[in-house]
Amino acid sequence: MGYTVSEVAEMSGISAHTLRYYDKQGLLPFVDRNKVGNRDFKDSDFEWLGVITCLKKSGMPVKKIRQYIEWSMEGDATLNERLEVFENHKKVVIEKIAEMQNYLDKIDYKIWFYQTAIESGTAAIHAQNNCVFTEGMDLSTVPNLHFPEQQ
């Protein structure tokens, strides 16, 4: 008396194909089956799908999520392992956000670059600008970097 795979697909926004794929990958061991063998999702399964979606969309690979789900199925004995999963993943997500913020700054620079270039009609007005996109590279042997557009 639960939900079929297509009902869950409709409600969750995860396609029925993907739900079956997740199941095959071991992400949905908690989903019941009815007497015919069809998946029979319970209300509480939506919360699991929410957790899986959170981990998935924040960059955790399916394999790692499966490991977390397996631990969850083992009950209170794996509480520490599961805490560690989220603590580690938190660091990853924080790092990702910081990285994105950094890229956002560079994108803003480029927007300014093109806006001012469009105003003056040419990118040549930026001939004297310093570089902002080589961060993280070891360019100690590069004497003079210029913006590509100036070539």
Partner DNA sequence: ATACGGCTTAGACTATACTCTAAGTCAACA
Partner DNA sequence: TGTTGACTTAGAGTATAGTCTAAGCCGTAT
Positions touching DNA (CB under 7 A) are 4-7, 15-18, 20-24, 35-39, 56, 61-63
Contact 2, 41 (CB under 8 A): yes
CB 82 within 8 A of CB 71: yes
**Could you tell which of a second copy, DNA, none binds residue 79, using a CB distance below 5 to 8 A set by kind?**
a second copy
Residue 126 CA to residue 59 CA, distance in Å, equals 37
Gap between the Cα atoms of 38 and 46, Å rounded: 17
Residue 125 touches which member of a second copy, DNA, none, C-beta under 5-8 Å by kind: none
**Applying CB under 8 A, does 57 fall inside the site for a second copy?**
yes
Contact letters (x/-) for a second copy, 79-118, by CB under 8 A?
xx-xx--xx-xx--xx-xx-xxx-xx-xxx-xx--xx-xx
